[in-house]
């Protein structure tokens, strides 16, 4: 007890850092599962997972996976009807870094989509894994 009283600042830093590690290691809300680029590729190949790029159109044309469909995050709820046929199929949401896609996963989960995933690291992670990106709009 005397150690804690004499080193209050040190103990406080340890408690705060431990709490931060615990909070960051908990899964995000919405039931979204984060996938690495390798896991995403396996899901695409084995279960025909659909890639949905939720970045804005100007970001999308700068580089995207060849089979990715662009539905910006701001209009995802309004355009969810376009994805109705995919409600029980795996969907992988992509953004630039993975932050926006986590929120978008929550949106789709609330709309009844059961197998929604986010790509860890987003397009940057996809590119770092050496996977190809196509420039321009999808035809």
**Residues annotated as catalytic (active site), given as ranges:** 95
Count CB-CB contacts under 10 A for residue 131.
Answer: 15
User: CA 40, 46, 52: angle at the middle one, nearest 5?
Assistant: 45
Q: Cα 111 to chain center, whole Å?
A: 17
3-class secondary structure for 43-66? HHHHHCCEEEECCCHHHHCCCECC
Q: Identify the bridge partners of residue 24 per DSSP, sorted by sequence position.
A: none
Question: Which residue matches tokens 């659909």?
Answer: 50
Q: How far apart are the first and last CA of the chain?
A: 69
């Amino acid at each position: 007890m005397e150690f804690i009283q004499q080193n209050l600042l040190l103990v406080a830093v340890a408690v705060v850092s431990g709490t931060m590690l615990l909070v960051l290691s908990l899964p995000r809300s919405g039931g979204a599962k984060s996938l690495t680029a390798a896991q995403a590729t396996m899901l695409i190949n084995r279960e025909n997972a659909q890639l949905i790029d939720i970045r804005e159109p100007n970001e999308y044309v700068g580089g995207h996976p060849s089979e990715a469909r662009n539905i910006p995050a701001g209009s995802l709820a309004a355009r969810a009807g376009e994805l109705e046929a995919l409600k029980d199929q795996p969907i992988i949401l992509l953004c630039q870094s993975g932050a926006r896609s986590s929120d978008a996963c929550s949106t789709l989960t609330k709309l009844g989509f059961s197998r929604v995933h986010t790509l860890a690291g987003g397009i940057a992670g996809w590119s770092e894994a050496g996977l190809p990106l196509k420039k321009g709009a999808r035809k």
